[in-house]
Every structure is written in C-alpha cells, then in structure tokens.
Structure 1
Amino acid sequence: MVPLLRALGAAEGETRFVGGCVRDTLLGIDVSDIDLATRLEPGAVIERLKRAHIKAVPTGIAHGTVTAVLQGGPVEVTTLRRDVSTDGRRATIAYTDDWLEDAARRDFTINALSADPETLAIYDYFGGEADLADRKVRFIGDPLVRIAEDHLRILRFFRFHARFGRGDPDAAALEACADRANDLMALSRERIADELLKLLALSSPHPTVALMVERGILRAVLPEIGDEGVRRLGDLIVREQAANAAPEPIRRLAALLPADPDLAAAVAARLRLSKRATRRLVSAAAREPKESGDPRALAYRIGRAEATDRLLLQDDTDDPATRLDILREWQRPHFPLTGGDLIAMGLRPGPVVAKTLQAIERQWIEDGFPSDADAIRRVAWKHVGQASRDSQ
C-alpha cells in the first residue's frame, strides 16, 4: 500500500482514503475493500503506477476508475468527479480537483468521509462523523434530489439502515423513499436483485424488510412480498440463529415468497438471477410444511445446500438444529451400482434396467447408504430376480 500511496502523491495531498474504508475504520469494523480518490486524472494514474511497477487495470475508465493490483488485493483508484447530468440510472461525469465537490455527489453522509493517508486526518463535509456516532443514515442534501439522481439509492438507504442504523430511520429519507418507490421500476432488475440480496445477507434484516413492506417500497417490483412473507422471514432468521446457520440471501428471499415453485421461477426470471440461484430458489419454494425422514436422504436427492434451506424453512415449531448437524460434515455418497451391473446379473437390456436400478437405489437410501458391497449386491440380486419374474 505504501508504494501505491507514494506513487499517487498522497504526501502532497493528491490522494485520500474514501468511502467505506474510512466509515468502517471509524466504527471499528474490519475493512474488506480499500478505495482511494485522487486529483490525478486516469491517464496520469496509469502512468504513475506503471513507473512504480504496479499493475494498473482500467476497470471503470469511463467513470474515472483504475484498479491497482497489489499483493494484498486490488485497490480502486477513482479520479475526483462531479455530475454533469443524471437520469436516475446513470450519470454523466466530469473530473474535478475539488474534494468537496466530489464528496457532495455521494449518497449518504457516512459515505462521504475521506482521510489523509499521511496524517490520518478525517475530512467530513456533511456531518458524517456525528451520524456515525448516532448510527443515523442520512442523505446528503435533499433526499428527493439524491433519489432522482440514482433510483437505486432507495434500496441502498434501507440496506445501510439495516447494517449501520439504530432506532427509527431518518424521517425525511424514509418519506422520500416511500414517495419515490415507483422509480425502482426504471432500474435494471439485476441492480435491484443485487441490492436486495445484499440486504438479505445481513445478520438481522427483518425489521428493515418489514418497514419496507409496510411503506410499499417493493410493491412495484416485487408485489408477491407481503406481511406473511415478512413473518416467514422473521421465523427463518430465528431458526437460522438457533441452528448456527449462516445467513443465505436466496433462502431468505424464498421465505419472503409463497411456497410456489412456478412463482419462484417467475420471480427469478424477473430478477435475472443466475441459473444456480434460480435452481436454489425454486427448490426452496417446493418445500413441504414439514420435511420428514432422514435429512441425508433429502440432501442426496436435491443437494445439501437445498436440503438445508428446506429444513430451515419448514413451517413448524421443531428445532432443526439436530437435523442440520447431521448434514454439516456429510458428503454425498456414490451409488455403487450401474445398469451394466444389472445386465451382468442376467437382466435383459431395456427400460426395466433403469426402473430396477432406481428401485435398488431407493432402498439403498432408505437403508442409510450402506457401504458393504456384499449386502448391496444381495439387495440387487433380490430386485433383479423380481424384475425378471415380472417380465416373464
């Protein structure tokens, strides 16, 4: 990091730490990403990094961002900017050398902080430090203006309130978000999904999601989510915590939706979820009120992650912790027989082979996945004999 800061003129006031890394440091939270802002334009940043033998990748060059690739991880370096025009989805920017002008285009006061790498002095133009102390998420300036600049800020407000807020949300911000909730319809569904899943991945998003449903924030884009979904989400989080299960945003989205696989598939398509996320959401939506039997059998059929989802989503009062413990270290065993094995035992080729193999596999699952080869073959001979008699 030191060579990077030296190359970018931090000692001369050309570059500062900005945004989340400053906010999280002040809160005593581990910093996952480091962002720098600089007066230097992107071309100058690339040239300076080249001279310092630091790899530079123009990841967001259209918006003034260059990524410096360091041994400890990538660092985004963004030239100070001001907005020339905005349409709620994207902004046309121009470069500036004014730190205040750059800070003024950010969304919340707690995200507009910057720090001098040399002196560690904090630059706070909008009362962000006081808001951090009060655990208050506030827009910079007029909330309606900030939302008009980027409609995604509606969802970001609730995510940041769920993560950093304490007590009631800022009244002006809440009213502005509720008034402009329909603006979310102008956004790409990928951006909505990304923000929603980030919210659901937090440790305790339930009160914030309940507030969003109460104020109609999601009605325009996810009308399927209502009070019952909020109740299911709350119950799920209680069970997750009791079972020491990590938060899983797709599972929590499934809790917000009715247990209807077709509806889940439609929501996944609307949000343009990945194929893997879609499969997991649809599987969770196929849950039964109570998943009975050996949890390993369920995991064998649908996958361990999907089985965990269903056990945690079951709508009863049982504690799923013991059943989940069975799955934590469980690895899906390999069924030891093939159709060729059955033919070698004398079964005629044809559909009967697959049908018999499936019957043997079902019994193997019911018996707890025995690994004794002789016992498995005895079961196989029994089924092969019955199938041969049935086909005569």
Structure 2
Amino acid sequence: MYLTDGEISDSLAAPLNGYPQGEDIKLHFTTQGFSGARLQLAEIMLRELDQELEFLDGGLYDNRLKNKNWIIERQYHPSCNFLARVGGKAGRYHIELSIGAALIALSASVELCSLQENSPTSELATQYSNGATSIESLFPGVTEPAQVGEEALGLALDVCLLLYLHEVAHAILGHCDYNSYNRSASSDEIRALEFDADFNAGAMFGLWVQTLPADYRKSKDFEGFLKRLVRASFLFSTILKAVSGRSANYHLPTNRMIAFLSGGAFAFDRTDKTPKFESDDEGDSYWSEKVSIHTESIKAALERSTLKEFLANERDVENDFHEIFNVTHGVRDSLKDGPLMKFRLNE
C-alpha cells in the first residue's frame, strides 16, 4: 500500500538497482531521442541527485532512524513520469523515486531559468515547438551540458530533494501506517497528510540541505537559501498539479509553497537564522514580503512558459487558503494528536 505523489504508468514495474546512465537512460526514455549533450546532461542530473540523496540518507539514518531501529530504503522507479511513492509500516519503509521526476524537474527548471529577465541562458527560451511543454519534451535545444548553467541544475536538484523529503516525511510521521490502517481516508484527511508532509519536508530541507558537500550547492547567505526553498517548492507544486490525476488531493502551488516555507521557517528559527519578531503580525509581514520577492521572477517566467496554463489554478488561491485555514489545519491537528501519535517516529 503506497502513498503516491505524481502519476504512475506501470505500478508493477520492478525498481531499478541504481540510477541509469548511458544506454539505460535511452531505454527508459524511448520517445525523447536522447543523445550527445542531452544524454550527458541527463547523466549529470541523475548522478548528482543520487550523490545528494546518499548524503541525506546517511544523515537521516544517523540522526533519526538508527536509535529507533527504523529503516527507510530508497530505490529508483523506471517510470519516465514525475513520480514518487512510499510504502511500508512499523519502522520498515521503502521510497521509490522515478527517473522521470529528476529529468522533468531539470527540463522545467531549464525552461524557467531561461525565461527570467536578463537570463544568461536565454537562448534556451525558444527550444519548444508544436505545442510541446517542458514536461513532455526534455531540454530539446541543449547542445552542451554546461549551457544550462548551475542555477537550473540547482533548482532541479532542490525540487527533487523536496519531493524525496516529502516522502520521508510521510514515513516518519506515521502517514504510511495510518494509510494501511485506514484505507478509506477522506479527501480532507489525504490533503491534511499532504500538507503535513509539505511542512516537515520544508523543515528537513532547512536543517540539512545547507550541509550538502558540493560547494555550488551551499547558499552564500540566508537570503539565498530562502530563495531556493521558495522557488523549488513552488515549481515542485506546479509540476505535480500539471502531471497528476490526483491533483485534487493537493492544495494550490502558492499555498503548498507557503506550507514548505512554514516548515523551513521553523527550522530557520531553531538555528537562529531568522530575525526575532515583536509580534505574530510582524513575523507574518516579514515572511509575506519574502514570498512575494522570491516568487516574482519564477511566476513571471511561468506566465511566459509552455506551462503557463497551469497557473490558471492560482485564480482560486484565496479560496484555497481559506480551506487550508478552516479545514486542513483542523484535520491535521486531530490526526497528529490522535491516530498518528502511535505510528510516528518520536525523538
């Protein structure tokens, strides 16, 4: 019994033994025509993602799982769709992350970064034709891996880390066990579990990602790190809305991004990276300003991108926010204080 994010085309496909390279990538993406620089770029993305996940897995095991004798195994799913899923119970869990998730995240990141004002990769902004989107046609105009730049690669990696940490949160918060125990969960409960996983994925991102070993993946300051979380969580949520038949279970990208950021803010506060506020209103104003600043460029790029139709959902963002405040928060609290208490990983 899995909790699934994204869309799965073959639920019975066997997981891969490791991330694919070379001809194995071409085998799984038969319609993309990968070769030359595009194939090299796909190899780089999968290799760097695997290195970062190995690093985070080690920290998770040493700091959270080992003392409780819990295990979370990670495997790659051969799907070329954007997909992650987590299953298991009683301290034994397994997460499958599709290779499609990594390359779709990279493709969307390449397009959006190329469409930002004064982008050094603006030559990649016109690489799509015949109505194809960057989710369907993966970086078709790339002629050299370095052409995409570190910003796009870093954004794609951050999207994938949030996706993975979201699945980790489902496991350690007891969501998988609850899902096995209560297979008739209501839509409000499902959305509450997703919201809970978003918040805690944001917190883990805030606590751990700055420790990644690659120098270019370390933000120079708090503002740069905050920008990463805001942009990655917004793009992550936009992609899921675009690809998933389960999208009714998700709140809108802007509001999901706020959930991730709320978790990040919790982590930032624990590590004394945020200002001290005299009141809740002052804190709310501070975070609202940061959200506005750091989503402006990526939303503007989305409005000019092949994914612009998926921004239409944002028209209902205020109603969606009221639903979070009036329904999701309450359901989440009742689950956390009730059935999830006996399933989650406690400190």
| TM-score when normalising by structure 1 | 0.28
Q: Which has the higher contact order (CA 8 A, sep 6+)?
A: 2
Select the structure of larger CA radius of gyration. 1
| TM-score when normalising by structure 2 | 0.31
